[in-house]
Structure 1
Amino acid sequence: MAEYTRKEVVEEANKLANMLANIEEIDRFKQIEAKLNENQKVQDLIRRIKAMQKQAVNLQHYGKKEAQQKAEKELERLQDELDEIPIVAEFKEIQVVVNDILQMVTGTIARKVTNEIVRSTGGDVLTGQTKAQMENDLTHHHH
């Protein structure tokens, strides 16, 4: 079994991060984000939404129910207006894709590490329990 130092693992993680940072989807994400930041209409709407959110919170704080509901309706309208802008929809889509990729990578690593630990302690890979957990039943409390 090869032994690795923590330093070596961190170096590999950096390499992996560089690879990830340069895949096509991330590149697209950066391009779309840049377009989003340059889009005056989008930025204006975001500013108005943030201001309206603040207002809604204040109105709630002072118990001004009717005004609060009005603010929330306006907030919804602004949000819909924002969502109708094509670049915004595109940004949300690519955001989901990028998140999925990151989840897949971290999930793969976590799963593999867990399985290795479980296997090396003579635990059960199927339930993901280590031997100590199986023997003491730490994870399931039966009443």
Structure 2
Amino acid sequence: MGQLDNMQYNDCGMPTFDTKDLVIREDIMAKAKELAELIGTSEEVEHFKKAEQKIQNHERVQGLIQTIKKKQKEIVAFESFENKAMVAKIEKEIEELQDEIDSIPLVTEFQQSQSDINYLLQLVVSVIRDTVSQKVNVEAGTEAAPSSCD
């Protein structure tokens, strides 16, 4: 059953689409996957993978992460007993541990690699949006349907 089998039309006779039912053309999806694979081979992604591997093998960072997770569980327990003083104390300890993690150069490098990938993805989306906008007046999906068919 294709998308056109259950086509809905507005009062002006224009087709309307429910985004959850919208079927993307196979050729568009194929190009999107091709682009995703290409991005996956970018220098930014390679840098991220290397930094992620270093983080996973860094004993101090992993130890700090485990300690933070343990303290987060402690917070849940103390919250259930409504012990605000202990919750505040443990939250401060977690903040100090997080500051220590953030001060490790490898972590800074990893965070920068995440930012670089996000920037690359935002740039790609912007190029696509701007290119489509040149052909069609595309807004951020918030423009209301026309009130009349004029």
Asked whether the two chains share a fold, i.e. TM above 0.5, the reply is: yes
Superposed CA RMSD in Å reads 2.6
Shift of 1:114: 5.4
1:136 aligns with 2:131: no
Q: Which has the higher helix share?
A: 1
> SS in structure 2 opposite 1:30?
helix
Q: 1:55 matched to which residue of 2?
A: 74
Question: Which of 36, 43, 60 pairs up with 1:17?
Answer: 36
- Counterpart AA for 1:37: Q
CA–CA distance in structure 2, aligned partners of residues 71 and 136 of structure 1: 56
Specify every segment of 5 or more residues in structure 2 that has no aligned partner in the other structure, as ranges: 1-23
Specify every segment of 5 or more residues in structure 1 that has no aligned partner in the other structure, as ranges: 119-124, 138-143
- Structure 1 residues 115 and 59 mapped into 2: Cα distance closer, same or farther (>3 Å)? farther
CA–CA distance in structure 2, aligned partners of residues 136 and 74 of structure 1: 57
TM-score (norm 1): 0.75
1:73 aligns with 2:84: no
Over the matched positions of the two proteins, sequence identity in percent amounts to 35
CA–CA distance in structure 1, aligned partners of residues 77 and 130 of structure 2: 45
CA–CA distance in structure 2, aligned partners of residues 16 and 80 of structure 1: 37
Superposed CA offset, 1:46-89 (max 9, x none) = 11111111211321232101111110111111111111111001
Q: 1:141 matched to which residue of 2?
A: none
Q: Aligned residue pairs: how many? A: 124
